[in-house]
Each structure stands twice: as C-alpha cells, then as structure tokens.
Chain A
Amino acid sequence: MRIIRNAVFGVFVMGSAYLLSRYRVFDSNTISTIIIVFCFSLFFFNIAVRRILWFRPYFISKFNLLTSTFKIEKEYDFEKDILFHKIIEVLTNSKYRVVKYDEAKGLILATSRMSWKSWGENIYIKLDESGDKVNMNFCSTTFWGIYSMGRNEDNYYNLMNSFDESLII
C-alpha cells in the first residue's frame, strides 16, 4: 500500500512538473514561489493542528500523501478504563508526552520528542471494547515527511516494551 501511495505521489509530482514546464502556464520563478509557499503553508498548518485531537483523521488518512503512518491493532484482556489509564501512565513515564485524551471516546494523543533527525511523531491510541476484551488501535504518524525512517515502528515497539515492563508491579 505504501509503495503504491509513494509511486502515485511521485508520478503526480513529476507529471505536474512536466505539464507546468511543457505548457508554460507560469514562468519558473512563479512555479518555484507557488511550491515554496504551498510547502511552508502546509508545514505550518500541520504544526498548528498536530496537537488537536480533532485532526486525527487528517493525519492518519491514507490519502494524506505528506505523512507516513504505521497502524497496528492489538487485543488486551483488560478493562477499558484500567487499560486507558495504564497507557497514559506508561506514556508519561516513557519518552512520550501525552498531549490530549478523551476518556469517553478512548482516545489518546501523544507526541514523541523533537530531535535533530526528527520533528517528532504523533501517536494516536484508540481503545474499543469488543466483548470482554479491548482492542487497542495504535497509530504513529509523522506530521511532516513521506518517510519515517522506521521511527513510527520504533515508537510502537518502545511503547510495547514499556507497557510489558510496567506490568511488573
């Protein structure tokens, strides 16, 4: 899916560049200005909305070509409210920062720290009850960047390790 998405994005960019240069709709300076303004606008828009829980569908959407997403689902044999608070505790005690949460909807938004090689990723966790089990939908997404260089996957494995360690009481 990711390969197809990246291929579509690449074809779109190359096609757009070809058409704009072939038919000379704008001169090259105007095209550069439009691209730069568009990229900067989108970047600042993403920065502005990345801590808003309401924008979760925007960031995790498969149609958002400028973000890289890693999704996984795991089933737990815990009560939903206990698991919810446990995940918040684990996130708080690890290198992540809990930004917002909605206990009624079972939604948690956390961010990883910014570093010299990353702007930090958004981590969305959604808990859904199914019978006496709880499904945890984990989603880590870059808020800006087509490739996460494995950081999204690392976030998941780090969280799972911290969670397992926290079960030693």
Chain B
Amino acid sequence: MPIIVNLDVVLAKRKMKLMDLSLLVGVSTVNLSILKQGKGKAIRFSTLEAICKALECQPGDILEYVGD
C-alpha cells in the first residue's frame, strides 16, 4: 500500500508506549497495533485528530504517501 503509517516512529520520538496512547486516545491497543502495522482499512478523522492531539503532531507525521 502506498500509504505508510509512521505511528511507531512518532511514538518512539515521544518515548511513548502504545498502551499509553491507547489510554489517551480511547482506541484499543489491538486497533492501534493494526493501524501501526498498516493493516487497517481506513482511519476516521476523529481517531486521527485524537492521535495528533495526544502526540502533538500533524497528520503528515503519522501518514506518508510513498509512490511506486
């Protein structure tokens, strides 16, 4: 998939664990793991907003488009 999820990179920069983010965002760890691995089908704006708020970042920091 040409969209890459860099959630693990942002988490590492913030020295935050997935479980902590899960508590802040209100999304289960399983769903965040799926998102982190790029296995999700789509992401809701509300989830993206919550993640950006919790990690103090921009959507572009989490999602990246890599062309062929």
Contacts and interface: CB of A to CB of B under 8 A. Distances in A.
Interface of A: 77-79, 82, 85-86, 89, 164, 166-169
B15 interface: no
B53 interface: no
Interface centre among A85, A89, A166, A169 (most CB of B within 10 A): A169
Chain B interface residue count: which class? Answer: 10 to 19
A97 B28 CA distance: 19
Interface of B: 27-28, 30-35, 37, 39-44, 47
B42 A169 contact: yes
Nearest to B39: A78
Contacts of A167: 34, 39-42
A79 B24 CA distance: 24
A85 B31 CA distance: 10
B30 to A, nearest CB: 5
B42 A85 contact: no
A86 B34 contact: yes
Nearest to A78: B39
